[in-house]
Amino acid sequence: MLDFSPSEHQIAFRVEAALLPGHEAYTDPKPGEAFCYRPMLQLALVDRPD
């Protein structure tokens, strides 16, 4: 998880994924890294109005 942001009515998460060769966003890993890491997903959980 890269970040999470809670507030009164929602919480948002940003996560990072390790991509495999063959994925359209894959690139060679950066020096010192074993995998290709990319921020891939942002979710926001929001309260429904009453």
pLDDT at position 48, please?
67
- Angle, CA 33 vertex, CA 29 and CA 35 arms, to 5°: 55
Please give the residue range of the domain that contains residue 40: 3-46
pLDDT at position 15, please?
86
Report the 10 Å Cβ neighbour count for 36: 17
C-alpha–C-alpha distance, residues 41 and 50, integer Å:
28
Identify the CA nearest to 17 among candidates 1, 29, 32. 1
pLDDT at position 24, please?
92
Q: How many domains does the chain have?
A: 1
For 1-50, the pLDDT digits (tens) are: 888 888 877 888 888 899 999 999 999 999 999 999 998 776 777 776 66
Q: Which residues pair with 8 in a beta bridge?
A: none
pLDDT at position 50, please?
64
